[in-house]
Amino acid sequence: MGREGTLFFRVTGRDAATRARTGILETSHGEVATPAFMPVGTRGTVKALEPRDLRELGFELILSNAYHLFLRPGHAVIRKLGGLHRFMGWDRAILTDSGGFQVFSLADLCRIDESGVEFASHLDGTRFRLTPELCMEIQEALGSDLVMPLDDCPPYPAERSRVEESVGRTTRWAQRSLGASLSEGQHRFGIVQGGVHLDLRARSAEEIAALDFEGFAVGGVGVGEPFALGREAVACVSAILPGAAPRYVMGIGTPAQIVDLIGEGIDLFDCVLPTRNARNGTLFTSLGRINIKRNEFREDPGPLDPNCGCVACRRFSRAYLRHLYQCREILASRLNTIHNLAYFASVVVRAREAISRGEYARFRTLPEFSGEPDPKGCGNRVDS
C-alpha cells in the first residue's frame, strides 16, 4: 500500500475485518512500531529494571510523569544534566504525561479552576500552581519525544455537569498549550475527555481533533467505570479522530483490554499493571495469571511460562520464583517484572503479526484473551 499518514506517523497495514492497524512513529530517538505498549517509568525509572533490560525486551517507547519529575528532582535540574534521556540513560523514545491524572488521583491535595490546578505537594505539602503553559515548559525541559497537555480528568462516577465542564476546560487548556513553545523533534498530543457520556466524548473528540495536534489520546478511562462503558467511549472516540494520526488510550490495561482496543484502531497503551503486579507476585502468562505466592508452586520444577523466552522462564523454576518472593528477595521483583513486561511485549508483537497476516479477528478471540477484564490497577499511570 502507499504511504498513509504524516511525517511523524504512518500507517503500514490494516486488518480487513477489524479496525486494527500497524504503524510507525518517527521520533528523534528512533522508530516505534505500533501497536505498542509503554512500560511506566513514573520518576524516570521502570521499577526494578535498568534501560538495558527494556531494550533487550524490545521496548522502543516508555512513559514518564512530568508532574513527579517537576517535584523531584525538578525540570531545571534535568535540563541542566542534558535532558531526561541522558539523565536516565535511555536512548529511545519517551512519552511524558502532563500531570492531569494527578488532579484526579490526588484530588484531596488540589484545587482546580480555569487558570490551572493548585497543588499541595504529596512530598512535603509545598503549594504550587500547575498551568497548561507550565506543563509545556516542564516537558520542553525534559526533552520528551511525545508531549501531553494538561487536561481536566473527572472521576467516575461524576455528575454530567461536572463532565461537561471538564470537556470545555480540557479544550481551552489544549488551546493554551498550543501557544507554548517546544523544542524541535517534540510532538504534541491532544487529550479527549467526556467520561462515559458518548455525546460528550464525541464533542470532545471533534473539538480536540480540530486543533493542531500530531497525535490524540483518550483520557478518563480506567478510572473506576465498568470496562464495557469505557470500551464504548474509546470506540466512539476512535471512530472520530483523524486516521492519519496515532491514537493512544491512557492508563489501560490488561492484555485482554489491549487486544480488544487494538481492534478498535488504538495504537498506543500504557499501564502500571505488569510492573506493579510483578512486585506483588501476580504474573501474566500465555496460560493465564499465576499467583506465585501459592503453595502449589513450592516444589514446582517447571518454567513460569513454557511459551516465554525471558530470563525468568529460561533459567528459573516456579519453585525458585516462589522462594524468592516468600523471602522478599529483591531479585523477585526484578525477575517478575522482566517476565510480565516480556509477556506484554509479546502481546503487541503478536498483535502486529496478526494484523499483517489479516488474521486479527481470530487473534483477538484466542482463549488467552477471553477472560473478563480486571480493572484493578488500570487507569493509574503512576507506578509508585
pLDDT (tens digit, 9 = 90+) per residue, 317-365? 999 999 999 999 999 999 999 999 999 999 999 999 999 999 999 999 9
Mean pLDDT of the chain: 94
Catalytic (active site) residue 270: yes
The pLDDT value recorded for residue 373 is 53
| Residues 291-326 pLDDT 10s | 999 999 999 999 999 999 999 999 999 999 999 999
Q: How far apart are CA 118 and CA 127, in angstroms?
A: 7
For residue 215, what pLDDT band results from cuts at 50, 70 and 90? very high
| Residues 127-171 pLDDT 10s | 989 999 999 999 999 999 999 999 999 999 999 999 999 999 999
Q: How far apart are CA 173 and CA 160, in angstroms?
A: 20
For residue 210, what pLDDT band results from cuts at 50, 70 and 90? very high
The pLDDT value recorded for residue 377 is 46
pLDDT over 90 percentage in the chain: 88
The pLDDT value recorded for residue 120 is 86
The pLDDT value recorded for residue 121 is 87
For residue 122, what pLDDT band results from cuts at 50, 70 and 90? confident
**pLDDT of 174 over the 70 cut:** yes
**pLDDT of 32 over the 80 cut:** yes
Average pLDDT over residues 199-228: 97
| Residues 362-381 pLDDT 10s | 999 999 998 655 544 466 66
Which is catalytic among the residues 15, 53, 97, 151?
97
| Residues 237-279 pLDDT 10s | 999 999 999 999 999 999 999 999 999 999 999 999 999 999 9
Catalytic (active site) residue 145: no
Amino acid present at 42 = T
Which is catalytic among the residues 53, 152, 267, 270?
270
Average pLDDT over residues 188-207: 98
The pLDDT value recorded for residue 363 is 98
Half-sphere exposure of 103 (CA within 13 A, CB side): 24
Average pLDDT over residues 181-190: 98
Task: List, in order of start, the domains of the chain with CATH numbers.
Answer: 4-272 (3.20.20.105)
Is pTM, for the whole model, over 0.75?
Answer: yes
The pLDDT value recorded for residue 2 is 38
- Per-residue 3-state assignment (H helix, E strand, C coil) for the chain: CCCEECCCEEEEEECCCCCCEEEEEEECCEEEEECEEECECCCCCCCCCCHHHHHHCCCCEEEEEHHHHHHCCCHHHHHHCCCHHHHHCCCCEEEEECCHHHHHHCHHHEEEECCEEEEECCCCCCEEEECHHHHHHHHHHHCCCEECCCCCCCCCCCCHHHHHHHHHHHHHHHHHHHCCCCCCCCEEEEEECCCCCHHHHHHHHHHHHCCCCCEEEECCCCCCCCHHHHHHHHHHHHHHCCCCCCEEECCCCCHHHHHHHHCCCCCEEECCHHHHHHHCCEEEECCEEEECCCHHHCCCCCCCCCCCCCHHHHHCCHHHHHHHHHCCCHHHHHHHHHHHHHHHHHHHHHHHHHHHHCCHHHHCCCHHHCCCCCCCCCCCCCCC
The pLDDT value recorded for residue 99 is 77
Region of poorest pLDDT, from 3-12, 23-32, 84-93, 315-324 = 3-12
**pLDDT of 5 over the 90 cut:** no
